[in-house]
Structure 1
């Protein structure tokens, strides 16, 4: 099973995981790391390594982060030197997490899992537009 690490600014990482697990069920091989306000890069890096080392397979990790260029992203990019097969995808949202949780149980390749996660993340963005209905147009 491909290990998943979710790392974001503030408390959103564990909350996103918790929300996705409400729908998909409790996940194994999934860790979340918060980057707290005022926290140093060294503390974040140490916290990420501590969570990564909990995985049974540290060679095949998929990291989902909030922002490209943000501190969690930048620290994880640095850690690819230590974990060269670690992949990082930005823009984490609940549809992306749900798809990742479901598809990794089917033993898809990591490349396919990344593609499906990104696709679900994009499709999860939707604008509902309410249409005003005239009384004459109502179908009851």
Structure 2
């Protein structure tokens, strides 16, 4: 997409970046449950991949996914290579980053309005992800609802 006008009709982009095959598997699980998601992409960061090359790959994916409110980047671990590479683009691209992605937040991301501002989208999804972490024995004993 060459200019901002081209992105006004595009839904918010969602980029999953993680160590090894995790991002691809999470996207596969998401699409198994909710159907194909053209505005979602997964990238695997391999320890053998040169950091500059990895950054270019991530930057290209962000540019491809850029939607009307930007791109929300999900990473597996804050401080890990996928997160650090995404962080290097934070100032120059219209992105927000959520580190510590889980499947409930990804599923919920498919239900949010396309025009929801990126910062609000990130806050909503972070909270939803937190709310959907359970200890089974607490749920079964009635301690957590």
TM score, norm. by length of structure 1: 0.82
Q: Output one character per residue of 1:38-65: Cα deviation in whole Å (capped at 9) or x when no partner.
A: 2121121121122122225387111110
Partner SS, residue 57 of structure 1: coil
- Measure the CA separation in 1 of the matches of 2:126 and 2:113: 14
| Structure 1 residue 74, shift from structure 2 partner | 0.8
Partner SS, residue 77 of structure 2: coil
What's 2:131 paired with?
123
Task: In structure 2, list runs of 5 or more residues that go unmatched.
Answer: 1-10
**RMSD between aligned alpha carbons?**
1.9
Alignment of 1:33-48 (within 5 A): 33-48=43-58
Alignment of 1:2-13 (within 5 A): 2-13=12-23
Contact 1:24 1:102 in 2 (8 A): no
Alignment of 1:1-140 (within 5 A): 1-57=11-67, 60-83=70-93, 85-105=94-114, 107-129=115-137
- Measure the CA separation in 2 of the matches of 1:112 and 1:81: 18
Task: In structure 1, list runs of 5 or more residues that go unmatched.
Answer: 132-140
| Structure 1 residue 95, shift from structure 2 partner | 0.4
Question: Which stretches of structure 1, 4 residues or longer, exceed 4 Å deviation after superposition?
Answer: none
TM score, norm. by length of structure 2: 0.79
- Measure the CA separation in 2 of the matches of 1:113 and 1:72: 20
Contact 2:76 2:99 in 1 (8 A): yes
- Measure the CA separation in 2 of the matches of 1:58 and 1:7: 21
- Measure the CA separation in 1 of the matches of 2:81 and 2:46: 10
